[in-house]
Amino acid sequence: MHSLRLKLIVGSLLVLTAVILSFDGFIFTAKRGALLDILDSRLFAESQSLARRLEIAGGRPVFDAADDAGAKPTITSLNRIVDENRLIVYQSPNSTKIPWPPTPKDASTPSWKTVRSAKGEAWRTVTWMDRLELDAESGEKNATRPETTITVAIQCAESLAETDEELRELASLLAGLSLAAFLIAGGGSFLLAGWALRPIRRINKALAGVSETRLDRRINPEGFDTELHPLIEQLNAALDRLDKGFQRERQFTADASHELRTPLAAILNTIEVMLRRPRAEHELIEAHQDNWRAARSMQAIIEGLLLLARMDAGKAAPAKEKIPLLALVDDIFASVGPQAEAGKVRLERAIDPGLRVLADPSQLRLALANLIDNAVRYNRLNGSVTIRARMSEGGALIEVGDTGIGIPTEQLPRIFERFYRVDPSRAEATGRSGLGLSIVRKIAETHGGRVTATSGPEGSIMTVFLPEA
Amino acid sequence: MRLLIVEDNRALLKSLKKGLEEESFAVDTAEDGEEGLFLAEANDYDVVILDLMLPKIDGLTLLSKVRAKRLSAHILILTARDAPEDKVRGLNSGADDYLTKPFRFEELLARIRALLRRKYRAKNPRLLVADLEIDTTTRAVIRGDRKIPLRPKEYALLEYLAHRAGEIVTRSEIWEHLYDWQDDTTSNLIDVFISRLRKKIDRPGLRPLIRTVRGSGYLLKAE
């Protein structure tokens, strides 16, 4: 049963059924009790009038049946009187058709019982013991009978047919009313459940309008019950995250295709223009040089994208080992040396010779090489690049500082995004992939660390933190 | 015909300029949106080839600024953005054509020529003035039944005069449309080219088509 509406309906009907049934039971029992009370007191009164007609004659109880025809209270009742020796003193006609309850030895309080005749009819009986005083003066007291009283059992019975009939009518009335109540309540709970579930349908409808291309849609919590506001807020927050994710993905794809198509267009166009007519050798050489540069920039982008894709897919898990940092930095300095010399940029380092960093050797080299390369490229004439490293907060902090023009504060949070360029025209001129810093960030993240940037008029500092564990 | 290319990829810019100049166009170039906007406002270009993702001022902003100033240049967007919504946005911002990278140079050329025909209200790529016929696609010039070989600048001048046949074309208009900003505008280059054209087109015995309007400029006319 996976329908919320069905659960609500069935649940409310179960509760309702229990309430109706106990109400019916209470009414029925109360009515039955009241009817029996009336019947019982009538029976007792009748038996008392029977008792008044008992006399003692010759030391034995005798029933005065003289005015039987007139004084008999009801024709539907059966009566009998039994003495101590279970001998019938009196019994009304037909009184043998019911099994009379046994008479107790000496009970003065009346007891009521329901018995069934051979035909299955229910009869209500009352039984009580009456004590008849023996008259001493009449000489009825003798040696053989030392007692002064005689006890007789008086029993009256009346058919329960009328009472049962009345109770049956009540039962069918209650059944009819209950069924009607059940149906009305069932229909009501069906409508109520539908009404209660209406916001869910509305949310559903609102969500149906949100597809990959319309992720900017949000559900307005106004008009919804306050209980649903947290749910709607959560849904909207989830949509926000999805939307941003898709936007980043779209932006990345658009950027990647732009970055690749532009140099490709340059190569194709150069070739096509060259092929339009016979060319002199110097023209061909120049075209080849242009194409080589464009192809190299495509290569840098493709390799960067492949590396990022591998790391995104978790396929480039770092194989960590303790790396002597000083040797690694000197090695990178050696490879960027010619470029630094060309820009008259000094390469400086302040690293403890014993400092070892836990990292994947090739990934750490790539990250530091990217940062140092950037620091050299975006430096000023006669500037410097300074590497500092120390252990702190359970990891290694490596700083790469430059003396360039710095990065505007509002752009700092974005410089690690893929294809983000502080100055696009300069990046184009230097043939960078636009992925260098995002690769540094990805490497720091796969090591469980991070990279941050600070910048001022005297230059920028990129700080890589790599945890020890 | 004078073109402006606004493109931040130097290799592409270089090969486009070379290819288009070899097709007798006067080509100015800009590497960012700011420079592009400055040049577009300063000169009367026939066609502007515009990249969208540009440093400083992006292509769409440049486009709307150029359109707000009611400049008459026809603008062709040349971009790597190939999504339909980008094309719709570009054309709706006032571009006349949209071509995505990578592209065929031949196609770019054909589109530039189509834009030029639109600008000069010529449906036929063959321009006819009396018995002079100019095929703007192949740049072949025929008078009567003789093919006339022309140098690129001579052809450009003749094509411009032919596009505006029947109108007086001023010297400054010729400068505007046939020479890029690097050419020396103080020289008597135009007189030199007009006299060369006359020698080739209006040979002795033929009705002269190129006329000088004293104090105003030149006129290409059948009568």
Judge: A424–B10 Cβ closer than 8 Å, yes or no: no
- DSSP codes, A275-316: TTS---HHHHHHHHHHHHHHHHHHHHHHHHHHHHHHHHTT--
Spell out the domains of chain B, with CATH numbers in brackets: 2-119 (3.40.50.2300), 126-220 (1.10.10.10)
What CATH number does residue A232 fall under?
Answer: 1.10.287
A429 falls in which pLDDT band (50, 70, 90)? very low
Report the distance separating Cα A116 and Cα A97, nearest Å: 9
CA distance A260 to chain B (A): 9
Question: Which one of A311, A335, A351 terminates a domain?
Answer: A311
A93 falls in which pLDDT band (50, 70, 90)? confident
Position A292 in a domain: yes
Judge: A254–B103 Cβ closer than 8 Å, yes or no: no
Residues A450 and A321 in one domain: yes
Domain span at A28: 4-167
What CATH number does residue A102 fall under?
Answer: 3.30.450
Residues A322 and A304 in one domain: no
Give the position of tokens 């025929």. B142
3-state SS, residue A56: strand
pLDDT tops 70 at residue B153: yes
pLDDT tops 90 at residue A23: yes
Report the distance separating Cα A136 and Cα A145, nearest Å: 11
Question: Which one of A283, A311, A339 terminates a domain?
Answer: A311
* Selection from B111, B138, B105 nearest residue A272 by Cα: B105
Residues A357 and A378 in one domain: yes
Residues A284 and A143 in one domain: no
Say if A275 is an interface residue toward chain B (CB within 8 Å).
no
Say if A91 is an interface residue toward chain B (CB within 8 Å).
no
Judge: A273–B55 Cβ closer than 8 Å, yes or no: no
Q: Where are the beta strands (DSSP E) in chain B?
A: 2-6, 26-30, 47-50, 74-79, 97-100, 126-129, 132-135, 140-143, 146-148, 168-170, 210-213, 217-220
- Dihedrals phi, psi of A50, to nearest 5 degrees: -65, -45
CA distance B154 to chain A (A): 19
Contacts of B32 in chain A (CB under 8 A): 425
Q: Which of A160-164, A246-250, A268-272, A333-337 has the lowest mean pLDDT?
A: A246-250
Residues A139 and A286 in one domain: no
pLDDT tops 80 at residue B71: yes
Phi-psi region of B81 (alpha: psi -120 to 50; beta: other; left: phi over 0): beta
Residues A278 and A426 in one domain: no
Question: Which one of A149, A167, A185 terminates a domain?
Answer: A167
CB pairs under 8 A between A and B: 81
Strand A384-392, strand A346-350: pairing: parallel
Does this complex have an ipTM over 0.85?
Answer: no
A428 falls in which pLDDT band (50, 70, 90)? very low
pLDDT tops 60 at residue A141: no
- Dump pLDDT digits (tens) for A403-413: 988 888 888 88
Residues A38 and A152 in one domain: yes
Share of residues in chain A with pLDDT > 70 (%): 90
Position A182 in a domain: no
Position A458 in a domain: yes
CA distance B12 to chain A (A): 4
CA distance B121 to chain A (A): 29
CA distance B124 to chain A (A): 24
A428 contacts: CB under 8 Å, gap ≥ 6: B8, B9, B10, B55
What is the per-residue pLDDT for A427? 46
pTM of this structure:
0.62
- Dihedrals phi, psi of A344, to nearest 5 degrees: 55, 45
Could you say which of A263, A276, A290 has the minimum Cβ distance to residue B14?
A290
What CATH number does residue A431 fall under?
Answer: 3.30.565.10
Could you say which of B81, B83, B101 has the minimum Cβ distance to residue A265?
B101
* Selection from B153, B207, B194 nearest residue B1 by Cα: B153
pLDDT tops 80 at residue A401: yes
* Selection from A131, A149, A160 nearest residue A36 by Cα: A160
The radius of gyration of chain A's CA atoms, rounded to the nearest angstrom, is: 54
pLDDT tops 80 at residue A421: no
Residues A331 and A427 in one domain: yes
What is the per-residue pLDDT for A138? 55
Residues A306 and A353 in one domain: no
Could you say which of A254, A261, A263 has the minimum Cβ distance to residue B11?
A263
The answer to whether the bond into B55 is cis (omega within 30° of 0) is no
Say if B107 is an interface residue toward chain A (CB within 8 Å).
no
Share of residues in chain B with pLDDT > 90 (%): 46
The full 3-state SS of B39-53, as one line of letters, equals: HHHHCCCCEEEECCC
What is the per-residue pLDDT for A426? 46
Q: Which of A94-103, A213-222, B196-205 has the lowest mean pLDDT?
A: A213-222
Residues A299 and A350 in one domain: no
Position A294 in a domain: yes
pLDDT tops 50 at residue A430: no
Nearest residue on chain B to A264, alpha-carbon basis: B102
When divided into structural domains, chain A yields a total of: 3
Judge: B12–A423 Cβ closer than 8 Å, yes or no: no
| Residue-averaged pLDDT of chain A | 84
Say if B203 is an interface residue toward chain A (CB within 8 Å).
no
Report the distance separating Cα B24 and Cα B7, nearest Å: 20
Position A128 in a domain: yes
Residues A118 and A234 in one domain: no
Contacts of A214 in chain B (CB under 8 A): none
